[in-house]
Amino acid sequence: MGVDNREVLKERLTDEYQQEYSKTCSPRWAFEDIAPAIPYVGEEYHDAPAKVFIYASAENLAGDLHHLQELRARSVRQQMHRSYGLRPRERQDQNVHIEPINNGALLKVARHILSFYPFGAEFSSSSSKAFLEQVSVANPGKFSIDPRKLDRKPRKNLDYADDPGKFAVQRSYVETDFKHLAPQIVILPRKVFDSLQSAGLDPLFQKQDHIILIQQVQFQAIYGKGKRRQPTAPRPDWNTSTDYGAWRSPWYASAYMQWITENSDRINWAEQTIVL
C-alpha cells in the first residue's frame, strides 16, 4: 500500500497521525501537547535497492525543557515534521531528532548488515547522510515520558523499550508506518521487537523479506555486564573502516560491526528473522 512519491508519502503519514492524535492526544504518562513525529523518509527511499526501515527506540525529551517549549510553540503538523529540515549539531552529519541516527551509530550498523546481501553494495557507504537518504527511520515509541508523572527524580534516560503497555497505546502510529512505508527489510532492537509483539503488533512483521533484530547501538548494550557483542579481535585489527569514507560515528558502533563480521558465517542471512 506504499506510494512512490516522498512528499505524498509524508502527507499521508501526517494525515493519519493527525487523525489519531486528534482522537487520543498524548498518553497519560507522556508530555502533554507534544504530537508524535512521523518517520524521516529519505529522498531516495523509493529508488533504493530495497525499502529499508530502521526503528530506534522511544522519543526522549526529558533532558531538554527548552526544546519542549520550542515544540509547543509550533502547530501540531509542524511538530509531526520535526525530523525534517534540522541543522546537524557539531560533529554530526544529520539531525532527525533521533540520537542514535544523528550520531551515525545505528545507521552505520544497519549499512554494515546490508553488506551481507547481494544488493548491499548498491547502498551508499560514503557517509551517514548519504545512506540516510536511501532509507526511512523513526522511533516506534512516539511519545516521551514526562518524569514528573512517574516520580520526582530528574531523569534523562527514560527509554521504555521493554514496556509493551506503552507501545500498545501507540499501535495505530506503528501500523500507519508499516502501511505507508511498505518496507521490505526492517531493522530494530530485539527488545523493542519483543515489546511490539507483546503489544499485539506481530502481524505487521509477517510480510517483510527480512526482520533483523539487533542490540541497541549503545556502549552498555555492547560492552555492558552480561552482553556478548564484544569482538574478539583487538581494535587495531577491526575491519570496519574500509569503504566508509568520512562516516562519523561512535567507536562502539565499529565494535558491534566487527562482532557481526566475526560471526557472519554462523548466520543464515536468507532467513526472515535474524538475531544479531
- Structural domain contains residue 73: yes
Q: Which amino acid is at 61?
A: L
Of 9, 5, 4, 19, nearest in space to 177 by CA: 9
Of 69, 62, 55, nearest in space to 143 by CA: 62
Amino acid 220: pLDDT: 83
Domain that residue 153 falls in: 6-275
Average of pLDDT values for 171-191? 96
Question: Does 3 have pLDDT greater than 70?
Answer: no
* The three-state (H, E, C) secondary structure of 143-206, written as one string: CCECHHHCCCCCCCCCCCCCCHHHHHCCHHHHHHHHHHHCCCEEEEEHHHHHHHHHHHHHHHHH
Question: Does 241 have pLDDT greater than 80?
Answer: no
- Structural domain contains residue 214: yes
Amino acid 55: pLDDT: 97
- Structural domain contains residue 12: yes
pLDDT confidence band for 1 (50 / 70 / 90)? very low
Query: Domain total for the chain?
Result: 1
- Structural domain contains residue 1: no
**Alpha carbon distance 147, 156 (integer Å):** 8
**Model-level pTM greater than 0.85?**
yes
Cell of 105: 551509530
User: What 3-state DSSP class applies to 32?
Assistant: coil
Of 149, 155, 140, 147, nearest in space to 216 by CA: 140
Q: What does residue 14 show for φ and ψ, rounded to 5 degrees?
A: -65, -45
Structure confidence by residue, pLDDT tens digits, 91-147? 667 788 888 999 999 999 999 999 999 999 999 988 889 999 999 999 999 999 988
Structure confidence by residue, pLDDT tens digits, 201-216? 999 999 899 999 999 9
Contact 161, 77 (CB under 8 A): no
Q: What does residue 51 show for φ and ψ, rounded to 5 degrees?
A: -85, 110
Average of pLDDT values for 1-19? 87
Structure confidence by residue, pLDDT tens digits, 77-94? 999 999 997 776 656 677
Question: Does 4 have pLDDT greater than 80?
Answer: no
DSSP string for residues in 231-264: -SS-GGG----TT-TT----HHHHHHHHHHHHTG
- Structural domain contains residue 69: yes
Give the lowest-confidence range in 1-10, 146-155, 266-275: 146-155
pLDDT higher for 237 or 194? 194
